[in-house]
Amino acid sequence: MILRNRLIIFLALLSKLAFSLVASSLKNDDNSFAPGEIWLDTDGIAINAHGGGILIHGDTYYWYGEIKKGNTYMPECNAEWGGSRVDVTGIGCYSSKDLIHWKNEGNVLPAETIIHGHDLHTSKVLERPKVIFNQKTGKFVMWMHLDSMDYKAARSAVAVSDSPTGPFQYLHSVRPNTGVWPENLPENERHFDNREEPLKRDFYVGQMARDMTLFVEEDGSAYHIYSSEENKTLHISKLSDDYLWPVGEYTRAFVGRSMEAPAIFKRNGKYYLIASGCTGWDPNEARSAVADSLTGPWKELGNPCVGEGKELTFRSQSTFVLKVNGKKEAYIFMADRWNKNDLEDSRYVWLPIEFDSADIPSIKWKDRWNLDELE
């Protein structure tokens, strides 16, 4: 009897393995995206690039993301809110011409293993890397969320490279912009919820900066968009011409709305934001918003997801929206399906964004889909 049960379990496991191998290899063979499945690179190894973003340079896509490798554990300092982690390995880069076949370009910003106080030490947190190209300096500039293990440092880190595939040279980390936390401001400056104009103050202590993205305008000016003020408010902060520093000018948006995982894109002259709520690795209901200008005012459009699974964003969290090269209307919502007990096994959920006649975006679940479906 025991033997029979074991045999059944063994056969079940075997068929599960066979199914997942077939399913994941299909992704590369039939040129389709299979959200939530294991995605293999051109070496047949699972792609490891979480909380990522894509840079288009020439005719190539470069996908940068957190390398989540090794043991997932719960540090005591994070136990209360469920902040499990893996030690920092670095930032992974993959390249592709078709968004389906990804070549591993390696760890382009490896963690520091010896000097404990270093920003990139393995004991830190390094998340949501985004890379943009600076036409003036000819440099590829990477910004990412840098934190202490307990997420109290709330900083952004900057690295540069002459090539999209690295190696990236680590430069510095900042708490962008002015910086005093509201309770330390004079009474009459504490409540700036109704302030319309961007804030401009001296570069001082700096604002908290956690989940983040970057956006480059057509004129080459770039913005750093990050969850600030204990993740309650999003800041849209202008970068210097070389993209290496904040200039000290920023707008507060979605005040008190706790937006995380911001992804911003532009379509037909309008700016769109897709973001998540604030529930750690657990998925929640996505939000979307539209604006005529990047710095707002932003109008919330609600959850862009429709159909079954919409309440938890199909068990995923936004990270980036990609406009596909050479297509008129192809925008891909890129998200992470985190596995908080085994972060290395977190998956990717990429789905097309549709727009109705009123230009409202929506995202539907698809088991499998193909770029040919998009205009």
In whole angstroms, give the CA distance from residue 116 to residue 149: 12
Tell me whether residue 216 or residue 278 sits nearer to ligand GAL (CB atom): 278
Nearest to 175 by CA among 274, 122, 250, 117: 250
Tell me whether residue 261 or residue 324 sits nearer to ligand GAL (CB atom): 261
CB of 83 to ligand GAL, least distance (A): 5
In whole angstroms, give the CA distance from residue 281 to residue 31: 29
Tell me whether residue 263 or residue 324 sits nearer to ligand GAL (CB atom): 263
Residue 280-299 contact track with ligand GAL, rule CB under 6 A, x = bound: xx------------------
Of residues 41, 105, 119, 127, which one binds ligand GAL by CB under 6 A? 127
Only segment of 155-163, 200-208, 274-282, 358-366 that touches ligand GAL (CB under 6 A): 274-282
Residue 237-266 contact track with ligand GAL, rule CB under 6 A, x = bound: -----------------------xx-----
In whole angstroms, give the CA distance from residue 4 to residue 17: 20
- Three-state DSSP at 144 gives strand
Contacts 24+ apart (CB under 8 A), 56-60: 56/325, 57/133, 57/140, 57/164, 59/97, 59/325, 60/95, 60/96, 60/97, 60/164
Tell me whether residue 321 or residue 324 sits nearer to ligand GAL (CB atom): 321
Tell me whether residue 215 or residue 338 sits nearer to ligand GAL (CB atom): 338
Sign, CA torsion 225/91/324/288: negative
83 binds ligand GAL (CB under 6 A): yes
* Maximum CA extent, the chain: 77
Of residues 37, 39, 48, 51, which one binds ligand GAL by CB under 6 A? 51
Burial label for 108, CB within 10 Å (0-12, 13-18, 19+), is: buried
41 binds ligand GAL (CB under 6 A): no
Contact residues for ligand GAL, defined by CB under 6 A: 51, 83, 127-128, 211, 260-261, 278, 280-281, 317
